[in-house]
Structure 1
Amino acid sequence: MDPRTRAQDVMRCDLCETAVVQMHCDTCLVNLCTACVGKHMISDESMDHKVVKFQFRKSTPLYPGCKSHNKQQCTMYCNQCDIPVCTKCLASDQHLGHKLSEVLQVMDEKKEKNIKELTELKATIYPTYQDIASDVQNRMSQLEKEYGDLSTAITKHGEDWHREIDKLVKTFKAEVDEMKNTQLQTLQKHLDEINKKMSDIKDEINSVEMAIDTNDLSKLFSITSHVYIYRNLPQKLAPSLSKFIPEKIQGLFGTLTSSSLTSDKHGYSMKTTQKSPEAGSSPPVKQLLDEPETVTTIATEYNEYLYNVAYLSDEEIWTSGRDNTMKLYSINQGSQLKSIPTKSGKMPYDIAVTKRGDLLYTDYWDRTVNIVKNKKIEGVIRLQNWIPYNVCSTSSGDLLVIMDSDDYTQTKVVCYSGSTEKQTIQFDDKGKPLYSSGYHVRYITENRNLDICVSDSGSKAAVVVNQAGKLRFRYTGHTPAPKNQPFSPVGITTDSQSHILTADDYNDCVHIIDQDGQFLCYIDCGLSAPCGLCTDTNDNLFVAQRFNKKVKKIKYMH
């Protein structure tokens, strides 16, 4: 048959193999022509043949055969035994009192479940594995590049060493020649003095011999002996030869740190089909500016210190300091728009803004986390035996609260859904505390990749864990720092590129690191005691300066 016309050939009866198919047996899954239907029906009279028109094939449900009773179809399903059963099974005492369902109902439920699982496999799981495979391939490509860069760096270092060694060899050889010439000149001078004395001795020998051989007494008496002089032999010069002491190159040239592959079962997250700023497509790639610039400065009206700043909109920011009010400021006008006192009348320890735009604050004094809605303050969380410090609202609407125990010996991060505790993050895989305990400044934020980032002044580190609470890395600063002071992390925030930005109190700057903890650059725009940080939707940075009580808006990305 011509392959080009094979698809146009009609289907033939499975029995006679000549007539065109018109019917179908849903029981035996056999295609039949009209003439062969009767022949098929009597071929096995024990079977309940369901013959339908070909276009309605597979419309008749095929009940499973009973494993206990031959040739019986199971029309019911025993939920307790989790098996299909036939009428003879039901007539026995085996399933007496068991809850039963129709097989078709169970089949529909299983189909619905399978459809959901199939949808999940196709829409979520398989694309996630595709992304993971792509991520691994990208990591392999990056690994090839980075190891290539490593080899290049070693080669360059070797070439630098060759040049330095050539210089050292020339220097050493010049010093050797100089030492040799100096010592040879000294020895030559000494030799010349000895040769002079040897000549004088020979002259004296001749004079004495001539006086002895003569009978002229005047000559004999005129001889003056110098033997006593020559008895004092010249000093012996023993040159001390310089030695070359070679050093082992390997320890001086450099070292290679060990490499490893760590396994992190929580490292990937399932791909989602929901579209949101956090879970949707990746944001456009932005580049850091070579020179960050101050866009505007807002002078707040706090009498003492300014601690915190939180982004509300492109026009407004919330602030808090060492008094009992939280103040809303216009970014463009720099004017105060609103002032809300705390419920307890005490200073708010930290502030944050929820996804819905409501103001959150922690109250150290009455151990609460509160939300402000329409100027009304509602308590969301009230703690027992723990003191809340800093808070942030996550992309999913949960709250992350960092807190100390009453005796200041323990510190932990707790995730809340409303007032319900969902997760506690306190120790690493070895059972050691993730965060320093005691009265230290700590800020908390969530990164775009769902990492939880804490700036911990007690341990002088930014501590980053993944969504499951497993430690990813600690960032302990970068040298040289602008003021060459130890790293002192306070405020912390993130941006659309998953950069982590941490205020450094001692060095009057902000560190920018990537989501894996690699240092990128400093922001140093004449900052003074930077404290709280936040970013807006355009990746502008807001910095609360503690002592001068001013908020700076800084542009640091293209």
Structure 2
Amino acid sequence: MAAQFIVTCEYCDNPSECFCNPCQKRICTNCVTLHLQQKSEDGHEIVCNTKRKNKYTSHKCKPHADLECPLFCKTCDVPICTKCATGKHRTHDFDDLEERIDNVANCMSREQWELDYTLKPLYQKILEQIMFRMSTVRKHFRSLSDSVTQLGTVWHQIVDEVIVDVKNDLMQDEIDQLHLLEQEKVVFQEVMNEIHNTIKENSNLSSSKNRAKLLHYKSEIKSLSSIPPLTEFVPSQFEPKLPTKEILRELFGVIKKYEIVNLPGYTVPMEPPVKLSKCFLKQPVLISQFDTSFPADDQGNKVYDLVAVSHGRFWATGYSRILKLFDSKGDAIDSITLGHKSSYISGLADGLLLYSDQSDNTVKKIESDGSVQTLIRTGEWVPKGVTSSVENDGQKIFLCLHKKESHKVVKYNNIGVCDLEFEYPGDHHPLYITINKNGDIGTTDHHQNSVAVLDKLGHPRFIYTGNREIGKIKSFKPISITTDCFCNFLISDWSNHVVHVLNGDGVFLRLIALKQGIKEPRGLCVLGEGLLSVGECATGMIKVLKYLKT
């Protein structure tokens, strides 16, 4: 059945059963006494809604200026007086003018409600999504531009290496030719030396006039007349091959042009849903509070993360290697000792636990017998917030990863193989993570003081940076995040000692605070039956409170 438009009391959110005619105010039965205490020059007249009298300015008849118009001619679509009704309009259809104006006023009131609470938030969220997508597009194209620059650097290196190789080849050709010529030079230098020696010997023999030596003279001219072979070279040539700009562009890389997918418009149903605020208790009730006995780290933090399991129980982790299992009353049920401290834990559908181990950059699973199995290895990436979700093809694990100035969320299957990586704006540092029943992925960033939500395909839904309309409130400092059965997102605000509640579209619903106070909330988990468990990082206390009607 479609939800009905509810006219609420002007003093509270309850439906109004009464109306004060002089004051023109809607009142519920609980607030009648409060209204009667208000001073009014015209006094008060409390009636049921069916007997309400709206105050409107009088409407004078145009043909009969001294008469007011109590009727409305439906045929001519004009207000008329009693004379007009018995004269010119006597055969027409009439309505009571006050009744018609009341109907118009009620229609306006309903449209105003729809504008304020349906269309305005919807368009605001669409604009936020567009802004989020714009920042994602800028980041994407900066990344592509960086890739082109890096490829250009590689090309320059390759060209430099090719130049060196070609020069080396030329140098080697030069060395080879000079070596051959040097060998020929040695051969001919030896012949030259022999010629010089022969000339000298012949000259000495001729001058000596020694007949005996002359008789034994042997001519060397024949052997010296035989010229050794020479090597001739066809000169080396460099043939430059300069590719055209078009060929270089094709070799360098091709841009795959973006595609435009026009999503169809749609009509927003103009029947406002029942207010979700009706499901909240006006004032959360403290059910229990207890000390976890976790020691404090260097910054004084004790409790880090909470994760709910079955039967109203939940695990807690702090500055210790020990995970502790509590029930909603604060009774300690069980504990597990880990090899190293962990700030981030999550549950699996089969009741087993996951935790991020930053000592070796892994995600480990704790089996039912207490043994530990390494499920995911993240290499140089440091694992932080972790959560899980069941999809059509099995259980998925979502993990926040950090590496220097790089940040991302990765989805793994149940054996630790990467399925998908989610991109965030460059300034968003996902820390804690949760997934609601719609598959929307919410992450907190306590550096940029924001909450970013993507849909299950990785498309941005909204960014929440606190609600400035709340009043006196310090800067928003989100730490942990969880979700409830209504797909709401609950965010612990460390600096304001409260928990923010957003609906699945990012609309702020309310703050959760206790009269007893919540000191620097960090870990959160919803236990069911309207219960919320909050870990105070500074005190080491856990407070279980009821915030929903059940």
Structure 2 length as normaliser, TM-score?
0.48
